Amino acid sequence: KIYNHNFNFTKGYKIVHKLSNFTVLSTGIISSKILEIVNDLKQNKLKIGYIDIFDISKINNLIKILINHKIKKLLIIEENSISAGILPIFTSALSNYDYKLDIKSLSLPDKQFFDYGDRDWILSKYGLSEKNIKSKIRRMYEKKWFIRL
């Protein structure tokens, strides 16, 4: 569980795990699954920060926090398409700052779906199952598999 009933939602995001050079950012319903994955990976001694953002209008405040903590690698995970999700909003806002950040995104492909099924089936079909995400995070962490934006 990411939030308790006393949480103050005015910030627009929550730093769930202390920021690290390798930090994961997620949004939406998938965030609770990402928390479980990050918790598991941290038990295996991976140093991973984790942020859940729920109010996109606060993205600039979050970017300032990332800059102040000198975060170098950011993995954005969401269940939106890559062009309609948080990645273009984040990179557009980041372009207003003189800061280099390696970013990778795990999201649904940019295409119209003619498939149907429940959420877990769609996520699994397009590479966003818990097992697949955990494997991709581990590989990115170990091999430094990032693109520079």
- In this prediction, residue 144 carries a pLDDT of 59
Q: Is the model more confident about 109 or about 11?
A: 11
> In terms of Cα–Cα distance, which of 103, 59, 108 is closest to 84?
108
Rounded Cα gap, residues 67 and 71, in angstroms: 6
At 85-128, the pLDDT tens digits run 999 999 999 999 999 999 999 999 888 878 788 988 989 999 99
CB 48, CB 96: distance < 8 Å:
no
* pLDDT: which is higher, 117 or 32: 32
40-83: per-residue pLDDT in tens? 999 999 999 999 999 999 999 999 999 999 999 999 999 988 88
User: Would you say residue 145 has pLDDT above 70?
Assistant: no
> What per-residue confidence (pLDDT) applies to 11?
94
Phi, psi of 98 (to 5 degrees): -90, 75
Q: How far are the Cα atoms of 46, 77, 123 from residue 119, in angstroms, in the given order?
A: 28, 15, 6
Q: In this predicted structure, what is the pLDDT of residue 46?
A: 92
pTM for this entry: 0.90
Instruction: Read off φ and ψ for residue 119, nearest 5 degrees.
Output: -55, -50
